[in-house]
Amino acid sequence: MSNWRLKSWDRGDRHWFKWSFKQLVAWILSISILYISFSAVIYQQWQIQATVNDNTHLNADEEQSKTSRTQDWMLLERIRGAVRAAGGLPGSRLSDLKMKEWEEQHSCKGRDPLLALWSKKENRSTDRATRRAMTRLLEEYSNLHRICTQGGNMSYVMDLYNQRENGTSKCKFLVVEFGVYGLGNRMLWLVSAYMYALLTQRVLLLDGRDTIHHILCDPFPEGTFWNPDQILPPEGLRRFSALSRPTRDGLQMPVLESLFPRRDPLTHLLRQIVHPVDPIWERVQVVQNMHFRNAKRVLGMQVRFRDGGGMYDSLNSVVNKKITDCALELDLIPSNAFNFKYLKDIEQNGGRPVVIFIASLQKGLVNHFREYYAPILEWQKQKGEEVVKVIQLSHYGFQPFHLDGDFQAFAELLMLSLVDEIFTSPLSTFGYVAQAYGGLRPLLIEFDPRRNTNCQRGQSSDGCYQQGVSKCTCPSEPELDRKPVIEILPYLQPCQDTEGLQLVPPSDV
């Protein structure tokens, strides 16, 4: 075996000596072991540092003084504290094998491709930072969920409930009861409840009587958040939830401000925990592949008449005209003049059409566009070329309150989130949720026939908090009491479509 020459500066004397190969390997091994041991000690120290600050003992001043830590990191520590209080180990995860098993049993094929499609459109460093922070929080929160439900065991939760009077349980719960409302409203409640549960370290359970659990993937590995109603009685749940009330709510604001510098919590929360079950994703995927992927531009038009028939009959033609004029003014759709320009357009676009995707309970707009583009559509059919495509997948005619209606509504809502430009109707939470998923600032369709405008650009991708309080009620802080909220929090502005408040992104992040 050949010997290796190494340099040595022993006693200042530079001289050479020979080491065998075995000695060299032993030397390298010792150095590696030393390095690994040192790193492990440092890491453990850091872990301990991160967990010692049990949230339940922090007060406002202590929180304020932790200037070196970001607020969201402190929230993570609070969740870790709740995990420890519940008898778990902060930072523990399911083994790869268990995770694989769980994923096989809870298939959610759309989660990753949807996230990729949404983040393809905007990929700012602030968005990435928020995503990373939210992922850290979700992982630890899932840990809490798993521990407090013993891996999704509702009988165990029931036992905790039965023992609630003696106060031995260290787990806190938040139960969401849905009423008979549309999908958009229920999704807003769901994500608000999730945010609240994160902030107050509560285990989120959803009312199992609602069909929403048939359309959503379960977001917490081994910690199912459905409450089958046959196990927990809803009237009991209310009392269970009220066991420990949140305190120090005022201190949640810095956390939220730090987590969402772009003031877009709805977008991040929806994308993180509200994913469609496979059959819904498959519907979305078909439309994405067949119509959206190769389009020159995709326009989503969400047209909602809210009172059933009367409003539709009286406003349909006004709204159709306003939408068309708005899209033409902004050069988003081709005009219906069938001439040389279109043939040129086709050449230039390599046959890529402008796609108009309509989501509505009525057929008014799709009929209007089919009529408007009739000569072009006819010409396209003969030529096999496409300049413009008009698509609408369903038209129930009324608001459905059944599972199939929710399936279709969720699929269309997700399709709307994948467009390049979205047109939305005033007051519709269906539209708010679609624009928020997509991170899209909508074009708000003007429904009022007395107004000259056709549409206006939305100030935010966030929904409108309809009828949100406009003045502060803070009797303990006279300098704030009764002041308009928008003067104190500049990122809250009056909504554009109705009365209320809306989160608006700052221009510099």
Ligand X SMILES: Nc1nc2c(ncn2[C@@H]2O[C@H](COP(=O)(O)OP(=O)(O)OP(=O)(O)O)[C@@H](O)[C@H]2O)c(=O)[nH]1
In the complex, which residues of this chain contact Mg ion (CB under 5 A)? 185, 429
Beta carbon nearer to Mg ion, 110 or 405: 405
Tell me: does residue 454 bind ligand X (CB under 6 A): no
In the complex, minimum distance from the CB of residue 458 to ligand X, in angstroms, rounded to a whole number:
16
Q: Which of 81, 208, 405, 505 binds ligand X (CB under 6 A)?
A: 405
Of residues 185 and 456, the one with the C-beta less far from Mg ion: 185
Q: What does the block give as tokens for 484?
A: 């308009």
Instruction: Measure the CA–CA gap between 476 and 242, rounded to whole angstroms.
Output: 25
Residue with tokens 């032993």: 26
Q: 233 with 207: CB under 8 angstroms? A: no
The answer to whether residue 306 forms part of the interface with ligand X (CB under 6 A) is: yes
237 binds, among Mg ion, ligand X, none (CB under 5 to 8 A by kind): none
Q: Which is nearer to ligand X, 118 or 432 (CB)?
A: 432
Cβ atoms of 486 and 415 closer than 8 Å: no
Residues 244-303 interacting with ligand X (rule: CB under 6 A): 302
- Tell me which residues in 366-385 interact with ligand X (CB under 6 A): none
Provide the H-helix boundaries in 201-277: 234-241, 252-259, 265-273
Q: How far is the CB of 447 from Mg ion (least distance, A)?
A: 15
Q: Which one of 143, 201, 288, 408 is in contact with ligand X (CB under 6 A)?
A: 408
Closer residue to Mg ion, CB minimum distance, 38 or 396:
396
**Checking phi first, is residue 467 left (phi over 0); if not, alpha (psi -120 to 50) or beta?**
left
CB of 440 to ligand X, least distance (A): 16
d(CA 472, CA 490): 14
Q: Least distance to Mg ion from the beta carbon of 506, Å?
A: 27
Q: How far is the CB of 463 from ligand X (least distance, A)?
A: 9
Q: Which does 200 bind (CB under 5 to 8 A by kind): ligand X, Mg ion, none?
A: none
Strands 492-494 and 500-503: antiparallel
484 three-class SS:
strand
The DSSP output letter for 463 is P
| Parallel, antiparallel or unpaired: strands 297-303 and 226-227 | unpaired
* Residue 399 · residue 408 · CB < 8 Å: no
Residue nearest to ligand X (CB): 182
Quick one: what does residue 430 bind among Mg ion, ligand X, none, with the CB cut-off 5 to 8 Å set by partner type?
A: ligand X
CB contact at 8 A, 389 and 369: no
Number of residue whose CB is nearest Mg ion: 429
Q: How far is CA 148 from CA 4, 11, 51, 161, 408, in A?
A: 59, 63, 19, 12, 34
- The number of residues that bind ligand X (CB under 6 A) is 21
Place of tokens 């004029």: 325
360 binds, among Mg ion, ligand X, none (CB under 5 to 8 A by kind): ligand X
In the bound complex, what is the minimum distance in angstroms from residue 415's beta carbon to Mg ion?
19
Contact between 91 and ligand X per CB under 6 A: no
304 binds, among ligand X, Mg ion, none (CB under 5 to 8 A by kind): ligand X
The structure tokens listed for 219 are 């977001």
Residue 73, C-beta contacts closer than 8 angstroms, at least 6 positions apart: none
Binding part of the chain for ligand X, among 41-49, 228-236, 247-255, 398-406 by CB under 6 A, reads 398-406
Cβ of residue 413: shortest distance to ligand X, in angstroms? Answer: 8
Q: Measuring CA to CA, which residue among 329, 304, 509 is closest to residue 395?
A: 304
Residues 410-429 that bind ligand X (CB under 6 A): 412, 428-429
Minimum Å gap between C-beta 304 and Mg ion is 9
Of 177-196, which residues contact ligand X (CB under 6 A)? Answer: 181-185
Please say which residue, 110 or 300, places its beta carbon nearer to ligand X. Answer: 300
261 makes contact, choosing from Mg ion, ligand X, none, with CB < 5 to 8 Å by partner type, with none
When binding is defined by CB under 6 A, the residue of 360, 417, 454, 502 that contacts ligand X is 360
Structure-token match 């074009």, residue found? 443
Residue with smaller CB distance to ligand X, 202 or 304: 304
State the residue for tokens 């409108």. 464
Helix 265-273 / helix 429-438 crossing angle, nearest 10 deg? 80
Cα separations (Å) of 14 from 4, 20, 205? 17, 20, 72
Which of 409, 440, 445, 455 is in the footprint of ligand X by CB under 6 A?
409
Min dist. Cβ of residue 184 to ligand X (A): 3
Q: Which of 250, 209, 157, 158 is nearest to 472 (CA)?
A: 250
| CA distance linking residue 378 with residue 215, whole number of Å | 38
Site for ligand X in 127-186 (CB under 6 A): 181-185
Q: Is the dihedral of CA 460, 466, 470, 472 positive or negative?
A: negative
Sites of contact with ligand X (CB under 6 A): 181-185, 302, 304, 306, 359-361, 394, 399-400, 405, 408-409, 412, 428-430
